[in-house]
Chain A
Amino acid sequence: MDIMATPPRVLNSLASSSGVKARKFADRTATVVLWCMASSIILLLAAFIIYMFWIGARYLTPAFIFGLPAETSAGGGIGPEIYNSFYILILTLIFTVPIATAAGVYLQEYARPGRFRELVVFSAESLATVPSIVMGLFGLLVFVYLFKWKFTALGGALTLTLLNLPALMRVTQEALSSVPDSFREASMGIGATKWQTILRVVLPSAIGRMTTGIVLIAGRIFGETAALIFTAGLSVSTNSPYDINPFHTAETLAVHLWYTHTESIVPDVDRIGNGSALVLLIMVLVFNISARVGGRALSKRLTGRPS
């Protein structure tokens, strides 16, 4: 057969045939289904937030938010727990962010592709999947027993660092790998050193994605309980409810929420539980939004336009 022969013409009019109609119907159906799936996420979040406010909003009084917790009687507050949540969060970020950034920079910018790099990535990914309760037991053995620190904010923060470091390192590495090589070439091409290139071009270009990674980690730290129960303890500092010494017990809000629902003997468990849950939710939302706004502003300052 002559392969150059013109095939017979199949379309004789401009009106859509039944085959075209079926394909267009499938196209429209797919669009609707995908839209519904995507919208359901927004709907779920909205429903969840509304429900949390519904059950918890009435308990959010100044006495509850800023008050001290009670051991046995009704009417306890959660002031020190909120403080401890932020305290441990900040302490953890102080450890996690620089190490994760440095490790991510090393992996992406310095390590040659090969055995060592693969081993580091494999180790990080394995570490990232360790259940937080296991990491909590590890923290118990090392910080509480071996170092004889007892339950401390520092021990809790270090355990959370171990828990989150691998993930943040991978996020940093991914963020750096998304920076096009053409930026590096342009910088090196006018005589910048590798370090200048990383510091002035690569990191500023990756800051948006890195901020997102830090926000996600921070959300996990806020909500973490299992790793903290065995390391930071189930009570607030005995010296002062707002203790700045990292070597004292530091019960966070998430741990307090778990504790009141399981171990506590106070009569108003529902009030404290629902109220705490709402405060925790608001804290995470506020942190998330402000970190995004801050990250965007930082990105705009560094790059001249929002990321």
Chain B
Amino acid sequence: MIDSPALIATSQKLVATDVDIYYGAFHAIKSANLNMKENSVTALIGPSGCGKSTFLRALDRMHDLTPGARVTGRILLDGEDIYAPSADPVVIRHRIGMVFQRPNPFPKTIFENVVYGPKIHGETNQAKLTEICERSLRQAALWEEVKDRLNRSALDLSGGQQQRLCIARVLAVNPEVILMDEPASALDPIATSKIEDLIGELKSEYTVVIVTHSMQQAARISDNTAFFHLGEIVEVGTTNQIFTKPREKRTEDYITGRFG
């Protein structure tokens, strides 16, 4: 895979080299290589079952939680291998946050959801927590909608609000990278467009990697795109190049809707 100079943004935040992922005997990802640039949005696209979510979860060491899953190869965060023996998954997941496909707020109040991360990382000052809560909810474009009911259950929010709350919960621990696994697939079009606007704003401060099955979404919000097929990364490039001048036949077939 060639890094053309046309790729947007300069420094590499996350670099995956020769990554293989297995579920038991099943070879889910085959020697994947991908560079994810700082302050940009990288979209992982491809048909269902192509391994894009599996690859995303490897970037956060979430496969540690799945018995039988195995990851080989190297994934560097600022040049440090997150699979090195000395690397602590707790610290990695603090620096790399994850937003999931279905909104999964805790059955706690809105406030407690947002400050959950800071609290587990040792923040006890109530004034500080209140401040973090407001900042994170503002960043997630949810503050105006919930500021009067921070002590209400998060489960009373709509699906779109819950997902923005989950994003706020990740932002509250001040991560460097935010991984999103089809964050809008369970939401209606209006909620989806709010999430997409939000992702556009987040990239000024964070590195975003997003899995999406919607090519339109990838085209709208991402700077770079990786196309996955049958466990392999077929093609990587700027989103513009992938969608207008794909180099690979398989990419072109997928983009133009010949399979998927």
A183 near B120: Cβ-Cβ < 8 Å:
no
B151 interface residue per 8 A CB criterion: yes
Docked pose: A302 CA to B152 CA in angstroms: 11
A304 near B151: Cβ-Cβ < 8 Å:
yes
B91 near A191: Cβ-Cβ < 8 Å:
yes
Q: Which of B106, B107, B112, B173 contacts A191 (CB 8 A)?
A: B173
What is the minimal beta-carbon distance from A211 to any residue of chain B, in angstroms?
15
B106 near A188: Cβ-Cβ < 8 Å:
no
B170 interface residue per 8 A CB criterion: yes
What residues of A have a CB within 8 angstroms of the CB of B90 in the complex? 191-193
B70 interface residue per 8 A CB criterion: no
What is the minimal beta-carbon distance from B90 to any residue of chain A, in angstroms?
5
Q: Which of A184, A190, A205, A304 contacts B173 (CB 8 A)?
A: A190
A190 near B116: Cβ-Cβ < 8 Å:
yes
A180 interface residue per 8 A CB criterion: yes
A115 interface residue per 8 A CB criterion: no
B108 near A188: Cβ-Cβ < 8 Å:
no
A205 near B104: Cβ-Cβ < 8 Å:
no
What residues of B have a CB within 8 angstroms of the CB of A305 in the complex? 107, 153, 155-156
Chain B CB within 10 A, most for which of A186, A196, A305: A186
B106 near A201: Cβ-Cβ < 8 Å:
yes
Query: Nearest residue in A to B179 (C-beta to C-beta)?
Result: A189
B104 near A304: Cβ-Cβ < 8 Å:
no
Given contacts A200-B116, A201-B106, A185 and B65 within 8 Å (CB-CB): yes
Kindly identify, within residues 97 to 145 of chain B, every residue whose CB is under 8 Å from any CB belonging to chain A: 97-98, 100, 102, 104-110, 112, 116-117, 119-121
A189 near B107: Cβ-Cβ < 8 Å:
no
A190 near B97: Cβ-Cβ < 8 Å:
yes
What residues of A have a CB within 8 angstroms of the CB of B65 in the complex? 184-185, 188
Given contacts A186-B104, A190-B97, A205-B107, A304 and B154 within 8 Å (CB-CB): yes
Scoring A residues 278 to 307 as 1 if CB is less than 8 Å from chain B, else 0, what string do you get?
A: 000000000000000000000000111100
What residues of B have a CB within 8 angstroms of the CB of A212 in the complex? none
B209 interface residue per 8 A CB criterion: no
What residues of A have a CB within 8 angstroms of the CB of B175 in the complex? 190
Majority-rule SS of A interface residues: helix
B30 interface residue per 8 A CB criterion: no
B155 near A186: Cβ-Cβ < 8 Å:
no
A112 interface residue per 8 A CB criterion: yes
Kindly identify, within residues 149 to 193 of chain A, every residue whose CB is under 8 Å from any CB belonging to chain B: 180, 182-193
Docked pose: A188 CA to B91 CA in angstroms: 11
What is the minimal beta-carbon distance from B29 to any residue of chain A, in angstroms?
19
What residues of B have a CB within 8 angstroms of the CB of A205 in the complex? 106-107
B106 near A186: Cβ-Cβ < 8 Å:
yes
A190 near B170: Cβ-Cβ < 8 Å:
yes
A204 interface residue per 8 A CB criterion: yes
Query: Nearest residue in B to A300 (C-beta to C-beta)?
Result: B153
What is the minimal beta-carbon distance from B66 to any residue of chain A, in angstroms?
10
Docked pose: A193 CA to B62 CA in angstroms: 13
Given contacts A185-B65, A189-B62, A191-B120, A304 and B107 within 8 Å (CB-CB): yes
Docked pose: A191 CA to B120 CA in angstroms: 8
Query: Nearest residue in B to A299 (C-beta to C-beta)?
Result: B107
What is the minimal beta-carbon distance from A305 to any residue of chain B, in angstroms?
4
Docked pose: A205 CA to B152 CA in angstroms: 16
A190 near B93: Cβ-Cβ < 8 Å:
yes
Q: Which of A113, A182, A204, A304 contacts B100 (CB 8 A)?
A: A182
Q: Which of A183, A191, A204 contacts B104 (CB 8 A)?
A: A183
A192 near B154: Cβ-Cβ < 8 Å:
no
Query: Nearest residue in B to A112 (C-beta to C-beta)?
Result: B67
A304 near B152: Cβ-Cβ < 8 Å:
yes
Docked pose: A303 CA to B166 CA in angstroms: 16
Docked pose: A186 CA to B112 CA in angstroms: 14
What residues of A have a CB within 8 angstroms of the CB of B109 in the complex? 304
Query: Nearest residue in A to B105 (C-beta to C-beta)?
Result: A186
B106 near A189: Cβ-Cβ < 8 Å:
no
B93 near A188: Cβ-Cβ < 8 Å:
yes
What residues of B have a CB within 8 angstroms of the CB of A185 in the complex? 62, 65, 98, 100, 104
What residues of B have a CB within 8 angstroms of the CB of A192 in the complex? 90, 116-117, 120
Docked pose: A185 CA to B105 CA in angstroms: 11
Query: Nearest residue in B to A199 (C-beta to C-beta)?
Result: B120
What residues of B have a CB within 8 angstroms of the CB of A201 in the complex? 106, 116
What is the minimal beta-carbon distance from A190 to any residue of chain B, in angstroms?
4
Query: Nearest residue in A to B93 (C-beta to C-beta)?
Result: A191
7 nearest CB pairs, A to B: A191-B94, A304-B153, A182-B104, A303-B107, A305-B153, A189-B98, A304-B109
Query: Can you name 27 A-B residue pairings with CB atoms under 8 Å?
Result: A112-B67, A180-B104, A182-B104, A183-B107, A185-B65, A186-B106, A186-B166, A187-B116, A189-B60, A189-B93, A190-B93, A190-B169, A191-B92, A191-B117, A191-B173, A192-B90, A192-B116, A193-B90, A200-B116, A200-B119, A201-B106, A201-B116, A303-B107, A303-B108, A304-B108, A304-B152, A304-B154
